[in-house]
């Protein structure tokens, strides 16, 4: 046992429950020498100056090797949505999955709100769900329709120990994993019911 505070508190008994209600710090089970012998590299970054994140901000415009003061601007081939908390479209931006369809309209609307507004984020999450339905409907007109069995990877339950990994191990997350299929299946069930009713109404109207 070592007491980091040194000799001044040596007369106190570390086993006494009142020990840590004095000025003493709880004793450590191993000395620095023992730790250095047991742990590879113990203490090599003791000096904060050796730690790359110290200090938090360190002004050095040459740090990253950029050979520009302001980057060239990436061409905007399609109209690109942006946060209204930016003065302009950033000089470089991602080009994955541009806005389209109903989800695109919802997202375009969401970007009228600043990032401090919960409406901004909730509209974007709503658009994600609409987009998922749109994409699934589109997929049925393609050569690669969505397949919830292969896309959820659920077949790995059989090959990667679905039962033995979950049960008899006291896992806290098993209690709510039963909700995962609900989260996955609910939009399919709701979509199926709505589709069936719409089709039935259409057939009745035609008759």
Partner 1 sequence: MRAMVYRGPYRVRAEEKDSPRIEHPNDAIVRVTLAAICGSDLHLYHGAIPDTRPGTTFGHEFIGVVDQVGPSVEKLRVGDRVMVPFNIFCGSCFYCARGLQSNCHNVNANATAVGGIYGYSHTAGGYDGGQAEYVRVPFADVGPAVIPDWMHDEDAVVLTDAAATGYFGAQLADVVEGDVVVVLGAGPVGLLAAQSAWLMGAGRVIVVDQLPERLEKARTMAHAETVDFTEHDDVVVHLKRITGFLGADSVIDAVGAEADGNFLQHVAGAKLKLQGGSPIALNWAIDAVRKGGTISVMGAYGPVPNAVKFGDAMNKGLTLRMNQTPVKRQWPRMFEHVRNGHLTPREVVTHRFPLEHVAEGYHVFSSKLDGCIKPLVVPGAS
**Terminal-to-terminal C-alpha distance of the chain:** 89
Nearer to partner 1, 91 or 192 (CB): 91
When asked if residue 89 is in the footprint of partner 1 (CB under 8 A), the reply is yes
Q: How many CB atoms lie within 10 A of CB 96?
A: 4
Q: How far apart are CA 207 and CA 205, in angstroms?
A: 5
When asked if residue 132 is in the footprint of partner 1 (CB under 8 A), the reply is yes
CB of 69 to partner 1, least distance (A): 6
When asked if residue 137 is in the footprint of partner 1 (CB under 8 A), the reply is no
When asked if residue 66 is in the footprint of partner 1 (CB under 8 A), the reply is yes
> Which one of 11, 23, 49, 175 is in contact with partner 1 (CB under 8 A)?
175
CB of 1 to partner 1, least distance (A): 11
Only one residue has tokens 């003065």, namely: 87
Residue 73 DSSP code: P
When asked if residue 26 is in the footprint of partner 1 (CB under 8 A), the reply is yes
Structure tokens at 76: 């905007």
Q: Is the Cα dihedral 79, 81, 87, 90 positive or negative?
A: negative
Find the part of the chain contacting partner 1 (CB under 8 A) among 163-171, 189-197, 199-207: 163-171
> Which one of 7, 10, 13, 60 is in contact with partner 1 (CB under 8 A)?
60
DSSP percent split of the chain into helix, strand, coil, nearest 5: 45, 0, 55
> Which one of 11, 64, 204, 205 is in contact with partner 1 (CB under 8 A)?
64
> Which one of 1, 33, 102, 165 is in contact with partner 1 (CB under 8 A)?
165
When asked if residue 145 is in the footprint of partner 1 (CB under 8 A), the reply is no
> Which one of 58, 204, 205, 207 is in contact with partner 1 (CB under 8 A)?
58
Q: Which helix (H) or strand (E) holds 102?
A: helix 101-110
Q: How far apart are CA 110 and CA 124, in angstroms?
A: 6
Q: How far apart are CA 204 and CA 51, in angstroms?
A: 73
Nearer to partner 1, 162 or 197 (CB): 162
CB of 87 to partner 1, least distance (A): 10
Residues 98-117 that bind partner 1 (CB under 8 A): 103, 107, 111, 115
User: Rg for the chain (alpha carbons), in Å?
Assistant: 30
3-class DSSP state for residue 55?
Answer: coil
Nearer to partner 1, 83 or 193 (CB): 83
């Amino acid at each position: 046992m070592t007491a980091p505070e040194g000799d001044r508190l040596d007369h106190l008994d570390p086993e006494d429950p009142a020990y840590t209600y004095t000025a003493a710090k709880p004793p450590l089970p191993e000395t620095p020498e023992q730790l250095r012998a047991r742990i590879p590299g113990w203490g090599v970054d003791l000096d904060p100056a050796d730690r790359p994140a110290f200090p938090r901000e360190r002004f050095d415009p040459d740090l990253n090797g950029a050979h520009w003061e302001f980057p060239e601007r990436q061409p905007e081939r399609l109209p690109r949505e942006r946060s209204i908390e930016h003065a302009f479209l950033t000089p470089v931006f991602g080009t994955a999955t541009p806005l389209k369809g109903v989800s695109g309209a919802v997202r375009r609307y969401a970007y009228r709100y600043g990032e401090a507004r919960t409406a901004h984020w909730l509209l974007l999450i709503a658009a994600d769900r609409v987009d998922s339905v749109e994409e699934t409907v589109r997929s049925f007109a393609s050569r690669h329709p969505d397949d919830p069995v292969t896309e959820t990877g659920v077949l790995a339950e059989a090959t990667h120990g679905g039962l033995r990994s979950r049960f008899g191990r006291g896992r806290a997350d098993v209690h709510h994993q039963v909700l995962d299929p609900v989260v996955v299946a609910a939009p399919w069930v709701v979509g199926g019911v709505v589709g069936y009713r719409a089709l039935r109404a259409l057939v009745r109207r035609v008759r």
